Structure 1
Amino acid sequence: MIILTNKNWLIALNDLKKKDKILKKIINTYKSEKLKSKKDPFLTLAKSITGQQISVKAANSIWLKLEKKIKKINPNGILKLKKSEIAACGFSKQKINYLHNLSIFFKNNKNIEKKWKNLEDEKIIEDLIKIKGIGKWTAEMFLIFYLLRPNIFPQSDIGLLKAISINYNLKYPLNDKDINKFKKKWVPWSTVATWYLWRSLDPIPVKY
Structure 2
Amino acid sequence: MASLTTKFFDYGREETDYLTNADEALGAAIKRMGKVERVVIPDLFTALVHAIVAQLISAKAVRTIWDRMLNRFGEISPLHLAAQTADSIQSCGITMKKALCIQRIAQTVASGVFLLDELKELPDAEVIKKLTALDGVGRWTAEMLLIHALERRDVVSWGDIAIRRGMMKLYGLPTITKEQFEKYRHSYSPYGSVASIYLWELSFE
TM > 0.5 fold call? yes
**What CA deviation, in whole Å up to 9, does each residue of 1:60-119 have, x standing for no partner?**
111111111111111222233332222221110110011012201211238934422221
Consecutive unaligned residues of structure 1, counting only runs of 5 or more, are 204-208
Rate the CA distance shift 1:85–1:114 in 2: closer, same or farther, 3 A: closer
Structure 2 residue aligned with 1:44: 47
**What CA deviation, in whole Å up to 9, does each residue of 1:133-178 have, x standing for no partner?**
1111111111111111111121111110011112211022x11221
State whether residues 153 and 191 of structure 2, in contact with CA within 8 Å, keep that contact through their aligned partners in structure 1. yes
TM-score w.r.t. the length of structure 2 is 0.87
Quick one: percent identity of the two aligned structures? 24
**Structure 2 counterpart of 1:49, one-letter code:** I
Inter-partner Cα distance in structure 2 for 1:145 and 1:63 = 15
TM-score w.r.t. the length of structure 1 is 0.86
Q: CA RMSD in A?
A: 2.1
Q: Equivalences for 1:123-202 in 2 at 5 Å?
A: 123-172=126-175, 174-202=176-204
Rate the CA distance shift 1:202–1:73 in 2: closer, same or farther, 3 A: farther
Q: Does 1:27 align with 2:30?
A: yes
Consecutive unaligned residues of structure 2, counting only runs of 5 or more, are 1-7
Structure 2 residue aligned with 1:58: 61
**Structure 1 counterpart of 2:200, one-letter code:** W
- Which range is displaced more, 91-100 or 107-116? 107-116
**Structure 2 counterpart of 1:164, one-letter code:** M
DSSP-derived class of the 1:39 partner: coil
Larger relative contact order (CA 8 Å, sep ≥ 6): 1
